[in-house]
Amino acid sequence: MIRYEVIVIGAGPAGLSAAIEAAAHGLQVLVFDENAKPGGQLFKQIHKFFGSKEHQARERGFRIGEKLLAEALGLGVKVILGAQVIGIFAHRQVTVMQGDHMEYYVGNSIIIATGATENVISFSGWTLPGVIGAGAAQTMMNIHGLRPGKKVLMVGSGNVGVVVGYQLIQAGCQIAAVIDGAPHIGGYGVHAAKIARMGVPFYLSHTILQAHGTKSVSGATIVEVDSFWQPVPGSEKNLDVDVICLAVGLSPLAELPRLAGCRMQDNPLKGGLVPVCNQYNETTVKDIYMAGDAAGIEEASSAMIQGRITGNAIAHQHGYIENTEFDQCHTKYQGALNQLRAGMFKRDSRKETGLRYTQEGYTLSKTLLTKGFLSTSELSVFPGIPTEVRRRQGVTPIIECTQNIPCNPCQDVCPKGCIKIGDKITNLPVMSASSCLGCGLCVASCPGQAIFLVDETYEDQFAAVTIPYELVPLPGEGSKGVACDRAGIPLGEAEVIHIRTTAYNDGTALLTMKVPIEWAMEARFFKPDHIGEGG
């Protein structure tokens, strides 16, 4: 029997952050993970994260994973991989299956950070090969470099559905449609808008009726549902797809605290059955703590802060830090967590407002909530959209950010202070009158890819529109293609006049295209000539 001061179960964002926090205060920490590689789901997250600087916003998930891992190992945290914890017994005895044998450990404190598992829905044909979880799609393409198929139906329009949809397109797949039983897109509008402008159709109030195929998926039938979630006869549509991706939510993986005798609660706001915890993430069993999604579904940035809160509490419990330092750290982490939990997409606030108005009182775009793009007529009221008069003065950012999400890198990176969000990071960004350099840092830093540069003074009758571009091959300067509007509808020919790639922008190229001036506020995607049908 080997004893450690802290045993962490799960080397994902929460577990590693907890381990780092505890080890930084001098505790001896051991981490188990059942997988062959640490990092949990972080290494599959190739998009830029939301939040503010302290949440590592505008960093891609896998880079955050690399940093966490290096930091943990640097602090002497021991990570044992391929180790499946099968139970926690009396006196915090941890039983671990490693290969074909059992090992026994004891932790003075235990942190359970086992994460979450994907939900599924069943329908006719749902067991056919080709029906996969959205997480499976991410694992296949972002870890193993393999497309899960050619043409995909995405079931679920939450952030996982729309983000994985975008990543599938980056990997070279087509998306036939994104469907959701709810009448509104569940994820951030900016994520939906990324794929809408590439031509992906959204079908809200739709569900999947059947997956077709004998040995694997060869198609799908979707159907509209009424307000009682019943299929509307005659509304069936057949889609030609070879992959059906399920992105229908997550459930906490909380078997271990349950086995350990922790008091559990069924809490829909936390995504299911979770242990009851105090403000320091300690369960009802002394010295057994939680961190991350296993204690309630949120997202990776929150999970990392939860890990810090837990690690800090354990360091205090073991006498490694004084009361004042403990309190200061806890207050700091709690503040950072509260920032991420604010905004209209928080589970309980969404219920109250029903996604109708922003906190500033602007009416939300209906087309954004149902089709995934902003209509030009709805756009002008938002504070990130400069006036026509301002646009005639030269290059200016167009900030198409219209929902209250906790994010502020645009304010942070602008060297001229053109963009104001303020201290409350869920505020909508406001364009101020000061002069834009046209550097494009805001365009590349926006995790929602919702900022564009428009120069209506570029040439007589022509405007230059700069968009974030993350596809291969990168079009060359001088190449021709088609400018598409926010709905992915081709407007007509456009020419690439400038391509900027920098290490700081980390894979987000700035593509500037020349378009007729009347498309300046319409053209938001560039489709190179050699690419066929969008989506």
Partner 1 sequence: MYRIENHPILHQFDKGQRVSFLLDGKEMEGFAGEPIAIALRNSGVLVHRYTAKRAEPRGIFCAIGRCNDCVMIVDGTPNVRTCVTPLQAGMNVETQYGIQSRGAAENND
Query: Which chain residues interact with partner 1 by CB under 8 A?
Result: 34-36, 46, 60, 62, 117-118, 127-133, 135-137, 139-142, 144-149, 170-172, 214-216, 470-474, 507
**Min dist. Cβ of residue 153 to partner 1 (A):** 15
The C-alpha atoms of residue 45 and residue 10 are separated, in whole angstroms, by 17
The C-alpha atoms of residue 384 and residue 392 are separated, in whole angstroms, by 16
Asked whether the beta carbons of 164 and 134 are under 8 A apart, the reply is: yes
Tokens 């802290």 map to which residue?
6
Choose between 130 and 397: whose C-beta lies nearer to partner 1: 130
Q: Is 48 exposed, middle or buried (0-12, 13-18, 19+ CB in 10 A)?
A: buried
**Min dist. Cβ of residue 12 to partner 1 (A):** 12
**Min dist. Cβ of residue 118 to partner 1 (A):** 7
Render the burial of 164-182: b for 16+ CB within 10 Å, e for the rest.
Answer: bbbbbbbbebbbbbbbbbe
**Min dist. Cβ of residue 62 to partner 1 (A):** 8
Specify the DSSP class assigned to residue 316: H
Choose between 91 and 215: whose C-beta lies nearer to partner 1: 215
The C-alpha atoms of residue 477 and residue 216 are separated, in whole angstroms, by 42
The C-alpha atoms of residue 302 and residue 345 are separated, in whole angstroms, by 14
Choose between 170 and 349: whose C-beta lies nearer to partner 1: 170
Choose between 90 and 472: whose C-beta lies nearer to partner 1: 472
**Min dist. Cβ of residue 281 to partner 1 (A):** 24
Pairing of strands 480-484, 525-528: antiparallel
Q: Is 23 exposed, middle or buried (0-12, 13-18, 19+ CB in 10 A)?
A: buried
Choose between 422 and 507: whose C-beta lies nearer to partner 1: 507
Pairing of strands 116-118, 83-89: unpaired
What's the CA angle centered on 228, arms 243 and 271, to 5 degrees?
60
User: Cα dist. 151→98, 147, 162, 200 in Å?
Assistant: 39, 10, 15, 12
Choose between 319 and 473: whose C-beta lies nearer to partner 1: 473
Choose between 27 and 175: whose C-beta lies nearer to partner 1: 175
**Min dist. Cβ of residue 211 to partner 1 (A):** 12
**Min dist. Cβ of residue 169 to partner 1 (A):** 10
**Min dist. Cβ of residue 148 to partner 1 (A):** 7
Choose between 145 and 268: whose C-beta lies nearer to partner 1: 145
